[in-house]
Structure 1
């Protein structure tokens, strides 16, 4: 399909061993003026799949943390409009059209937040703390940068106006237990480095109370209980990430 564009758009993707997602994701990015994949030296077929698409620039860059990797990707983009998308995320036709219309407009908004619709093994996860999740995905390169105060769950510093898209981004966050568990533990370890950097000193309550609080808050207050077995698993693994954070922080300090 041909898309008329008055302003050019760069789509950025950071990857590590994402062969299960790459073909479907890249096949749906025909509206972009350029697609850049920044890979952390994957051991699977991520590179082969990515380079089979003519509009994709595939770059390998050593992973330090999510913030540094995203900022590196931004620096490679030729265009001012940036769309970041993770390998396990998908655009609906309605969201794609909203992105195209926005990029083609003369908007004075610097960055746009997207709500996400989470899927658990291809079934929608309605609650468990994810129902109000939103994240920056579309922004102007000259108006935004990821802050180095965050190493994971990156924070975009924006100069100017912020708005929210109407249509939701699809997020296939949970494919199987082991991969999601590994992701949560990795996130926890990066959060530990954040805490160490600011001189945070955890107490007994942090080590033992915070993981329990996280589970109960997401399961009861954030209604994970209504997601059934899926809710128990997600809330438990999110609490495990908190536990991994303080375990890693203790290791780093001592």
Structure 2
């Protein structure tokens, strides 16, 4: 029997937000999710005002946990939830009233499914990105508790679900890049994480990866996926994404060169136990679908 919110005919829902130094984002994200029955904030020991701001909301349950990877943080946050449904957001994302109403209607239907994809409308410096492939950005973020899990990777990972997720109609808003000073440290961090994932999986890096993959990322987004139609913001956005690709492969190349000389790289700290998590095919609860 589903747990229902008092005075409401819908099941209860928990929101999970992961944060690190998100003082410019966290209030907007939390306020867009206050319609949920609880908001879990898992913070990686922020050094700015993120903890203070997050804890100023009565509905927020605030935790601090050493950062051991995006998937590890999200999985841990999901484990702290008290309610039947889980909605996962990053601090730079916002839930719209239209999406809220659709989610509430969706979880009222006991036969509606147990995992749902939400489309993201990406903003770059207050401009919507309408091309470059990001217009199709979508992620699994609404799930019945126990019906999905993040397999641990060092960079962005997609939730695995035990049934095929359904697509919701409305969008969340993703304020991906607000300024260079805010985004550049993040893209460097992603570069190290991506290189760490490549190192762990035994990938090599050389001219083709550093130059070829960088060039292809830019051409694919800007030319073939029509980023050029987003004007100057589209050019800058596509170049930033290509720069992120360059960093990942260049860092991995440096690490391989150093390893050949007997100097092992200082890999980003990671949750190795969580790395081994997996449902085996055919086991109860085994994931059958994922989506980027």
Q: Which residue of 1 aligns with 2:160?
A: 157
Q: Distance in 2 between matches of 1:100 and 1:3?
A: 14
Alpha-carbon distance, 1:78 to partner: 1.4
Say which of 97, 100, 107 aligns to 1:103. 107
Tell me, yes or no, if structure 1 residue 9 matches structure 2 residue 13.
yes
Tell me, yes or no, if structure 1 residue 198 matches structure 2 residue 201.
yes
Provide TM-score, normalisation by structure 1.
Answer: 0.94
Say which of 57, 62, 68 aligns to 1:64. 68
Tell me, yes or no, if structure 1 residue 180 matches structure 2 residue 173.
no
Q: Secondary structure at the match of 1:52?
A: coil
Q: Check 1:249–1:113 CA distance in 2 against 1; reply closer, same or farther (3 A cut).
A: same
The range that moved more, 186-195 or 234-243, is 186-195
Q: Which residue of 1 aligns with 2:142?
A: 138
Q: How many residues align?
A: 252
The range that moved more, 99-108 or 49-58, is 99-108
The range that moved more, 3-12 or 161-170, is 3-12
Say which of 74, 80, 85 aligns to 1:76. 80
Q: Secondary structure at the match of 1:17?
A: coil
Q: Which residue of 1 aligns with 2:127?
A: 123
Q: Distance in 1 between matches of 2:164 and 2:111?
A: 10
Say which of 77, 81, 90 aligns to 2:94. 90
Q: Does structure 2 conserve the Cα–Cα contact (< 8 Å) formed by 1:185 and 1:240?
A: no
Q: Does structure 2 conserve the Cα–Cα contact (< 8 Å) formed by 1:120 and 1:173?
A: yes
Per-residue CA distance 1:202-243 (angstroms, 9 max, x = gap): 332112111011111100011110111111111111111111
Query: Which protein shows a greater Rg?
Result: 2
Provide TM-score, normalisation by structure 2.
Answer: 0.82
Q: Which residue of 2 aligns with 1:211?
A: 214
**1:215-234 alignment runs, 5 A limit:** 215-234=218-237
Q: Distance in 2 between matches of 1:96 and 1:114?
A: 11
Per-residue CA distance 1:49-80 (angstroms, 9 max, x = gap): 11111110110011121111111111111123
Tell me, yes or no, if structure 1 residue 48 matches structure 2 residue 27.
no
Q: Does structure 1 conserve the Cα–Cα contact (< 8 Å) formed by 2:26 and 2:91?
A: yes
Q: Does structure 2 conserve the Cα–Cα contact (< 8 Å) formed by 1:40 and 1:60?
A: yes
Q: Distance in 2 between matches of 1:143 and 1:168?
A: 22
Q: Secondary structure at the match of 2:248?
A: helix
Q: Which residue of 2 aligns with 1:245?
A: 248
Alpha-carbon distance, 1:126 to partner: 1.0
Q: Which residue of 1 aligns with 2:280?
A: none
Q: Check 1:166–1:108 CA distance in 2 against 1; reply closer, same or farther (3 A cut).
A: closer
Instruction: Please list every run of 5 or more consecutive structure 2 residues that lacks an aligned counterpart in the other structure.
Output: 1-5, 259-292
Q: Does structure 1 conserve the Cα–Cα contact (< 8 Å) formed by 2:119 and 2:139?
A: yes
Q: Secondary structure at the match of 1:30?
A: coil
Q: Does structure 1 conserve the Cα–Cα contact (< 8 Å) formed by 2:206 and 2:253?
A: no
Q: Distance in 1 between matches of 2:109 and 2:166?
A: 14
Tell me, yes or no, if structure 1 residue 166 matches structure 2 residue 169.
yes
